[in-house]
Structure 1
Amino acid sequence: MSLAEPLPWLLVVAALHLGFQLTVDLVVYPALGDVPDERWATAHQKHSSRITPVVAVAYLPLVGVLAWSVATRPEDAGVWLAVAGAALSVGTTAVVAAPTHGRLSSEPAAGRPALLGRLDRADRVRTLGAAVCLVGALLAG
């Protein structure tokens, strides 16, 4: 395998993506859920502004390397499995997680637990997608 080909990079970005999702799922969201009501608005705003560049660092190379992989290896089932897993993660982010974060920024304390539960469930789906992406990257080639 050569670094001039997409597959080693696919493995790197898929592993990065899964590591990011596991960190959010197991560390970031539980910590956010422990924030007391009087500190919620500030904590959520800081979380949102801090996580956005990290999401970009994880997702932009992932999408780029997946596109490169599909363009050069359209017959590879592992590549397509990686694409499916990443699409599940990115799609869940766009359709569920991002809008839920938008609602959390202004939700009264009474409604927050339901939205945090929705966010937790969405993140489990995103983590599953990232794991499937990594399996596809491992199988590619």
Structure 2
Amino acid sequence: MLIAAVVQTVATVLLAGIAWTVQVVVYPAFALVPAGSWARYHAAHSRAVTIVVGPPWVAQGLATAALLVLAPGEPLVWVTAVAAAAGVAVTLPAVSLHGRLDPAAHPGDLRRLLRVNLVRALVWSAGSVVGVLLVTASGA
């Protein structure tokens, strides 16, 4: 259980860090992209960010599933699983917003994306704290 808890926690901490970087740096910079360059810029961003978030998402999902199998009665495991699921749930609206995003044409969509991402960053930050508690309780 300890290895799964460590993997899950490290992945969640990475996702929290990425979400905060996106919140403070990446999404605000979207507004600076010239309208004629938006489609190409956004496509490049989407490809690059998938490479960055894909591995920690997979690791978090697999480790969370392992924790639920290995320690189904542990309350911190369930809190960790809920935090992981919430991170995924909050990401779904972000993906939808990205699909129609054009900051020059619809600046309100960028504001909505920032709000959704803030919730995601807060959820993964809380999940990081719970993960550290889970690792500590697991004997690290």
Shorter-chain TM-score range: 0.7 to 0.9
Q: In 2, distance between residues paired with 1:120 and 1:135?
A: 23
* Deviation for aligned residue 1:108: 7.8
Q: In 1, distance between residues paired with 2:22 and 2:75?
A: 29
Counterpart residue type for residue 68 of structure 2? V
Q: In 2, distance between residues paired with 1:115 and 1:47?
A: 17
Secondary structure class of the residue paired with 2:73: coil
* Deviation for aligned residue 1:33: 2.4
Quote the residue 2:111 is aligned against.
117
Equivalences for 1:23-38 in 2 at 5 Å? 23-38=21-36
2:81 counterpart of 1:83: yes
* Deviation for aligned residue 1:8: 2.0
Secondary structure class of the residue paired with 1:23: helix
Query: Which of the numbers 38, 41, 60 marks the counterpart of 2:39?
Result: 41
* Aligned-pair Cα RMSD in Å: 1.8
* Deviation for aligned residue 1:110: 2.9
Unaligned regions of 5+ residues in structure 2, if any? none
* Deviation for aligned residue 1:57: 1.5
Relative contact order (alpha carbons < 8 A, sep ≥ 6): 1 or 2 greater? 2
Q: In 2, distance between residues paired with 1:10 and 1:99?
A: 26
* Deviation for aligned residue 1:25: 1.4
Q: In 1, distance between residues paired with 2:31 and 2:73?
A: 43
Secondary structure class of the residue paired with 1:74: coil
Q: TM-score, normalised by structure 2?
A: 0.86
Q: Is the 8 A contact 1:21 1:126 kept in 2?
A: yes
**Which moves more between the two structures, 72-81 or 125-134?**
72-81
Question: Runs ≥4 in structure 1, deviation > 6 angstroms?
Answer: none
Q: In 1, distance between residues paired with 2:98 and 2:33?
A: 15
Q: In 2, distance between residues paired with 1:93 and 1:58?
A: 14
Q: In 1, distance between residues paired with 2:83 and 2:6?
A: 17
* Deviation for aligned residue 1:138: 1.6
Quote the residue 2:72 is aligned against.
74
Q: Deviations over 1:38-85 (max 9, x none)?
A: 222221111112112222112111111111111111122222222122
